[in-house]
C-alpha cells in the first residue's frame, strides 16, 4: 500500500509500505487493524514540511508512516480484544507507549511519562499512523464512536480530546468564569465551544485581519461572546472593556507567537490562570516574560500536551451531544496522492480550518 512516510531528517515522501497485519505487530494479541477513513493534518505535521529551519521540530528516529488525527473502521482484531469488533467505527489515541511504572503513569498521566521522551510515546512516530489505507493500534487506546458521530466528524475527535485536556483537565474552567482564547484555528474554535459548554462567560477569541472572513466569523456563529482582531483593536483596552477592567480569569495562548505569550500576562486578572499551548509543535518558542507581573498578580502558568483516556471519553460525549460542533471545521479533504497540495493549504490558507487526507480515495 502507499503511505506518507516521515523520515528522521524531517522530510516526507509517498512510498510503497508494508500493509499491517493482525498478530504481526508489537501490540499483538491486543491489536486492532483499522482501515483509515480520514486523517487530519495537524500543525505538527506541516511544521516538518518545506521548512528550511527544522531546529526544534521533532522527527522519528527511523522512517515511519505518520499522521495521528485518525478515524476509520475496524477490519480485524487480535484474539485478546473483547471490547470492539470488525465494522466498528473508531478513533485512535495519540499516546500508546509509556513505562507504566512512574508516578505519572501510575496516576493516569501517561502523556507525561517520566521515563520516555514525549515523541517516543506516539504511535505515529514508532509503529505508524494514519497517512495510509491501514494502520494498527493497541485496543486499549482505541475508542468506538457512537452512531450519532459521522466519520467526517470523527476526524476532529483528536483535537477535541486535546482541547478537553487543556480546558477542563488542566485549567478546570468553571461556570461563570471568563475565558479568552488567543488564536482562532480549528483548535481555538473547539476550545471556544468547550468553554461555553462549561458555562464560562464571557468567552472571547482573538485573531488577525486574515482570520476575519472565515475563522472569526465562524467563532461568532459558534457562540463567541466577542471576537477581537488584534491588528485593528488594542487588545488590552478591549479586555478591560469586556471584563470590567480586571482582566480574564483564564487565558488560553493558542497561537505559538512569542508576542501572544508575553501579552497573556497583561490580559489575565490578578490571580488568573494562563495556559501556554501554542508553541510546542515547533520545539518551543522563546518569549520574554516579565516576572514582576507573574509575582505581583500571583498568576498561575500551565502547560499541556496531548491527552489522557478521560479526555477522549469527554470529547466523544461532547460531540455526540452537539455541545461541540466539529462538522463545520472539516474544511477540505484530499486524496493521499495530493498530500502536498493538502499540506500547502493547511499551512498557508486562512480559510482552511482542518484539512484531511482520505487514503482510500
- Mean pLDDT (whole number) for 122-128: 94
Greater pLDDT, 277 or 151: 151
Q: Is the pLDDT of residue 285 over 90?
A: no
Q: Is the pLDDT of residue 45 over 90?
A: no
Peptide bond into 202 cis (omega under 30): yes
Mean pLDDT across the chain: 94
C-beta neighbour count of 76 within 10 angstroms: 18
Angstrom distance (rounded) from CA 108 to CA 330: 31
59-74 burial string, b = 16+ CB within 10 Å, else e? bbeebbbbbbbbbbbb
Q: By C-alpha distance, which of 162, 187, 152 is closest to 72? A: 152
Angstrom distance (rounded) from CA 297 to CA 87: 54
Q: Are 136 and 90 in contact (CB under 8 A)?
A: no
List C-alpha distances in Å: 122 to 87, 117, 273. 25, 10, 29
Q: Give the model confidence (pLDDT) of 230-258 as tens digits.
A: 999 999 999 999 999 999 999 999 998 89
Domains of the chain with bracketed CATH:
2-156+326-358 (3.90.180.10), 161-303 (3.40.50.720)
Burial of 161 (0-12, 13-18, 19+ CB in 10 A): buried
pLDDT at 53: 52
Q: Is the pLDDT of residue 48 over 70?
A: no
Q: By C-alpha distance, which of 337, 332, 341, 170 is closest to 250? A: 170
pLDDT at 54: 52
pLDDT at 58: 66
Q: Are strands 248-253 and 226-229 parallel, antiparallel or unpaired?
A: unpaired
Residues β-bridged to residue 262: none
List C-alpha distances in Å: 24 to 75, 122, 128, 199, 318. 15, 19, 13, 47, 35
Burial of 298 (0-12, 13-18, 19+ CB in 10 A): exposed
- Mean pLDDT (whole number) for 150-174: 98
Q: Are 354 and 218 in contact (CB under 8 A)?
A: no
Report CA Rg, the chain. Answer: 20
pLDDT at 9: 86
| Residue 77: φ, ψ to 5° | -135, 150
Q: Is the pLDDT of residue 10 over 90?
A: no
- Mean pLDDT (whole number) for 279-303: 86
Angstrom distance (rounded) from CA 252 to CA 163: 10
Burial of 175 (0-12, 13-18, 19+ CB in 10 A): exposed
Q: Is the pLDDT of residue 29 over 60?
A: yes
Angstrom distance (rounded) from CA 337 to CA 361: 9
Q: Is the pLDDT of residue 281 over 60?
A: no
Say which residue the cell 459521522 belongs to: 150
Burial of 332 (0-12, 13-18, 19+ CB in 10 A): middle
Peptide bond into 179 cis (omega under 30): no
Angstrom distance (rounded) from CA 180 to CA 262: 15
- Mean pLDDT (whole number) for 259-279: 94
Q: Are strands 2-6 and 12-16 parallel, antiparallel or unpaired?
A: antiparallel
Amino acid at each position: 500500500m502507499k503511505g506518507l512516510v516521515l523520515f528522521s531528517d524531517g522530510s516526507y515522501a509517498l512510498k510503497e509500505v508494508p500493509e499491517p497485519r493482525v498478530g504481526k505487530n508489537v501490540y499483538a494479541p491486543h491489536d486492532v487493524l483499522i482501515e483509515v477513513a480520514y486523517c487530519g493534518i495537524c500543525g505538527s505535521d506541516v511544521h516538518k514540511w518545506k521548512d528550511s529551519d527544522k531546529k526544534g521540530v521533532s522527527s522519528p528516529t527511523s522512517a515511519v508512516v505518520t499522521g495521528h488525527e485518525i478515524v476509520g473502521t475496524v477490519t480485524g482484531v487480535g484474539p485478546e480484544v473483547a471490547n470492539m469488533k470488525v465494522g466498528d467505527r473508531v478513533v485512535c489515541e495519540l499516546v500508546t507507549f509509556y513505562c507504566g511504572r512512574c508516578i505519572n503513569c501510575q496516576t493516569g498521566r501517561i502523556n507525561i511519562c517520566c521515563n520516555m521522551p514525549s515523541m517516543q510515546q506516539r504511535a505515529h512516530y514508532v509503529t505508524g499512523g494514519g497517512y495510509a489505507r491501514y494502520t494498527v493500534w493497541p485496543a486499549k487506546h482505541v475508542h468506538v464512536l457512537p452512531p450519532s458521530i459521522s466519520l467526517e466528524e470523527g476526524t476532529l475527535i483528536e483535537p477535541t480530546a486535546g482541547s478537553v485536556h487543556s480546558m477542563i483537565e488542566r485549567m478546570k474552567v468553571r461556570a461563570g468564569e471568563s475565558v479568552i482564547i488567543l488564536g482562532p484555528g480549528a483548535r481555538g474554535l473547539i476550545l471556544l465551544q468547550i468553554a461555553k459548554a462549561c458555562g464560562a462567560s464571557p468567552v472571547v477569541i482573538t485573531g488577525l485581519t486574515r482570520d476575519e472572513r472565515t475563522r472569526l466569523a465562524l467563532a461568532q456563529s459558534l457562540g463567541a461572546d466577542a471576537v477581537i482582531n488584534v491588528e485593528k483593536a488594542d487588545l488590552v483596552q478591549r479586555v478591560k472593556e469586556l471584563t470590567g477592567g480586571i482582566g480574564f480569569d483564564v487565558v488560553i495562548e493558542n497561537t505559538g507567537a512569542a508576542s501572544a505569550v508575553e501579552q497573556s500576562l497583561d490580559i489575565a486578572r490578578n490571580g488568573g490562570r494562563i495556559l501556554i499551548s501554542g508553541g510546542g509543535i515547533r520545539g518551543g518558542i522563546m518569549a520574554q516574560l516579565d516576572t514582576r507581573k507573574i509575582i505581583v498578580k500571583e498568576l498561575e502558568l500551565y502547560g499541556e500536551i496531548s491527552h489522557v483516556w478521560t479526555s477522549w471519553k469527554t470529547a466523544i460525549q461532547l460531540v455526540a451531544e452537539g455541545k461541540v460542533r466539529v462538522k463545520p471545521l472539516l474544511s477540505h479533504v484530499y486524496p493521499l496522492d495530493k498530500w502536498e497540495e493538502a499540506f500547502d493549504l493547511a499551512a498557508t490558507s486562512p480559510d482552511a480550518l482542518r484539512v484531511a487526507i482520505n487514503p482510500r480515495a
